Amino acid sequence: MLKYGMIKTRYAPSPTGEIHIGALRTLLYNYAFAKHNDGHFVLRIEDTDRKRYVEGAEKRILEDIKSYGLSWDEGPFVQTERLEIYNEYIQKLIEQGNAYYCFCSPDRLKELKSKYDRHCLKLTKEEIEEKLKNHEPHVIRLKMPDNEVITFKDAVRGDISFNTKDLDDQVLIKSDGIPTYHFAVVIDDHLMEITHVLRGDEWISSTPKQILLYRYLGWEPPIFAHLTALLDPSHKGKMSKRSGSVFARQFLDDGYLPQAVLNYLMLLGWNPGTEQELFTLKEFVKTFSFEHLHKSQPVFDPVKLKYFNGLYIRQKSDEELAKLLPDYDSRYIPLIKSRMETLNDVAELLEFTTKDIEPPKDLINLEMLQGIKTILETTEFNFDALQEKFLALVKEKGYKTGDFFMTLRVAICGKKITPPVVESMIILGPEICLRKINKLF
C-alpha cells in the first residue's frame, strides 16, 4: 500500500560542479523506476553547501540531463528557496526535545577527539534564551537516543543496523541558518511525497539519522535502495579523474553518444536476467526493477563503453551521422562509419582531407608511385576505372598487392590506417590527389 497516490523518485544534485558519471547512473535508475511504475520523477537542487557552490553549475546540470534525453515531471525545486519551511520543522524538533542549540566555538569542537560531547545539552532554558538574545553564533543539533539499535530494510542489501552510541549528534541547521543535507533531505522527501530513494552507498551511514528524523516528525520513511559505487579500472577504489573522464558532460565532449553512455550505465549495477545487452531507454524503463540490482561493485570499463559507442554509431544512418558531424564532407561518412568508436575519431580519420600529412618514407615505393601518377593523369577519374588500372599495373609489374596499395594509401592519406583509399580519392578529386603525389618525388 503506497503512502501517497503514486510512486515518486527524485534526483537531487548539488550545484558544486559537474554531474559525475556515477551520479548520472543514479539519475537513470531513479527515472526508470518511476516511469516503470507510471510514477513521477522529481528534480531537486540541493544547494545548501554554500562554501562549495559553483556559479552556473545548476544551469549546466539541467542542460546535461536534457542532453542525455532525460527529463523530470516535477521541479526543479531549489532548497535555498525553501528556508522558511525548514525553520518550521526545526522549531518543532526543538520543542519536542529532539533537537537542541549548540553554541560551542569551532576551536572547542576541534579539541574534541571523538564525537560531540553534548556540552550544550546541559544548558538551561534561560541560558539558551540569553545566548540567542545576544546573537551568539550557534548551530542546531539532532539529539540521538542513547544506545538504541536502528534497523532499516534496504531494497538492495536487506536489513542494515546501526547503534546510536556510534552516531554523532548531527548538525541540522548550520550557523548561517541554512539546513544541512541530513535535515533538508528528510523534509523535502516527505513534502514532495518521495516513495523510493535510490542513491549511492556512501549515504548508508546517513540513513539512521534520517530514519530518526522521520520518527520524530511522525512520518513514514521512504524505501531506500543504496546503489554500489563504480570502480576505477586502473586502480583500487572509485572512479577518479586520474582514469580519464568522470563527468557526464565530458563523455559527450569526447564524442560518445548519449544513448550509448546510458546503455552502458544501465548494465553497471543491474542486469535484466537475460543475455540482452542493448537497450533503448524505453526498453530499459519497461524492464527495470529492484530485483536485478547488483550488490557487488561494477568496474567502469572505458574499452567496453567504446565498444557500445561503436555499435550505436554503426546503427545510425549515414544521414543521421552526417548531422552529428556537420563540419565534415558527408560523402566520407559511409567510408569511416565502421572505423569509428567515438564521434571525435572523425578528426583523425579525415585529417588527410584538410592537409598534407608527411607519410612514412619507408612505406613509399617511388617506382609504384610513378605508375600511380601516370594512371591518375591518363584515366577517367571514377572508382571502377582507377581500381581496374591499379590492379592491372600490380599484375603487369609483379608487385605485391598489399605493398602497392600501402604506397597509394600513405601517399594520399599520410598514414597506414585510413578510410578505403580509392573511394577517398574519388571524393578528393584528381587535382588534390596529383598534388599530394607530386610532393613526394
List the one residue out of 362, 364, 359, 337 whose CA is nearest residue 350.
Answer: 337
What's the CA gap between 248 and 240, in Å, rounded? Answer: 13
> With the C-alpha atoms ordered 431, 435, 438, 440, is the resulting torsion angle positive or negative?
negative
For residues 345 and 310, give the distance between their C-alpha atoms in angstroms, rounded to a whole number: 11
- For residues 174 and 50, the answer to whether their CB atoms sit within 8 Å is no
Q: Break the chain down into helix, strand, coil percent, rounded to 5.
A: 50, 15, 35
The string over 116-136, giving b where at least 16 C-beta atoms fall within 10 Å of a residue's C-beta and e elsewhere, is beeebeebeeeebeebeeeee
Q: What are the beta bridge partners of residue 227?
A: 200
Spatial separation of the C-alpha atoms in residues 405 and 420, rounded to whole Å:
10
Of the candidates 348, 343, 346, which has an alpha carbon nearest to the alpha carbon of residue 254? Answer: 343
Catalytically annotated residue among 3, 241, 295, 395: 241
Set of cell numbers at residue 303: 574499452
Residue 295 is a catalytic residue: no
- Alpha carbons 328 and 333: distance in angstroms, whole number: 9
DSSP string, 240-299: -GGGS--BHHHHHHTT--HHHHHHHHHTSSB--SSS-----HHHHHHH--GGGB-SSPPB
The residues annotated with a catalytic role in the active site are 241
